[in-house]
Chains A and B, each alone.
Chain A
Amino acid sequence: DQQVKQNSPSLSVQEGRISILNCDYTNSMFDYFLWYKKYPAEGPTFLISISSIKDKNEDGRFTVFLNKSAKHLSLHIVPSQPGDSAVYFCAASAGNYGQNFVFGPGTRLSVLP
């Protein structure tokens, strides 16, 4: 049973527009969420995180929104740039003891020039 879901395997967006990547989770014990970006042949790179005590966290062009009641989070990238083209993983963890993340399957974002 997938505890973290990213239902869109791929997404294409025009350069300069907003990219919205979605993530749903089933485990209500998850209280820390992260987004990672991955290029081919490289390890995932941390983008942004959010704790369950917040509903929004912003870092430059990246904003993560958390809706706890819907068990849903989203990553907004504004404006999208061609260099943002990569696979984006949503990850979640329960509790504050130990670094044990459950990853979603990823969404491949293509930003078209």
Chain B
Amino acid sequence: KAGVTQTPRYLIKTRGQQVTLSCSPISGHRSVSWYQQTPGQGLQFLFEYFSETQRNKGNFPGRFSGRQFSNSRSEMNVSTLELGDSALYLCASSLDTFRGMTEAFFGQGTRLTVV
């Protein structure tokens, strides 16, 4: 069974530009979450999508947005990039069931560098 796939793996952008990251979840997983990992802040929750709807949102500015498609694939967009947005962006998918929480499976991440 294929794991969570994130593309691209590495990205270099200039301040002020925008960027779109992609995540393909494990087949059958309907929940997709995004996290930002930086050395100073650790892993921070950005948002979660379930059935094409944003279900949870972390404390990030509106420049960070996302969406989910009918096949559960998700994209994350960051507009007006700032140097501080340089980070590893991780996507995680979960098999969401009526019984509640299940573990999340992470992709390898996209390393974004803003110069």
Chain A residues engaging chain B, CB cutoff 8 angstroms: 32, 34, 36, 41-46, 49, 51, 89, 91, 93, 96-106
Contacts and interface: CB of A to CB of B under 8 A. Distances in A.
Interface in B1-59: 4, 31, 33, 35, 42-45, 48, 50, 55-56, 58
Nearest to B33: A99
Contact of B42 (A34, A51, A99, A104): A104
Majority SS at the chain B contact face: strand
Interface of B: 4, 31, 33, 35, 42-45, 48, 50, 55-56, 58, 90, 92, 94, 96, 99-109
B31 A103 contact: no
Nearest to A45: B106
Contact of B103 (A42, A49, A100): A49
A26 to B, nearest CB: 16
Contact of A99 (B31, B43, B58, B99): B31
Contacts of B56: 98-100
B108 A42 contact: yes
Top 6 A-B pairs ranked by shortest CB distance? A96-B100, A43-B106, A103-B43, A32-B101, A100-B56, A46-B103
A105 B55 CA distance: 25
Contacts of B101: 32, 49, 51, 93, 96, 99
Nearest to B35: A103
A24 to B, nearest CB: 15
Give the residue among A45, A49, A99, A103 with the most B Cβ atoms within 10 A. A99
19 contacts: A34-B104, A36-B106, A43-B4, A46-B105, A51-B100, A89-B43, A96-B99, A98-B31, A98-B48, A98-B56, A99-B31, A99-B50, A99-B56, A99-B92, A100-B48, A100-B58, A101-B33, A101-B45, A104-B42
A58 B64 CA distance: 38
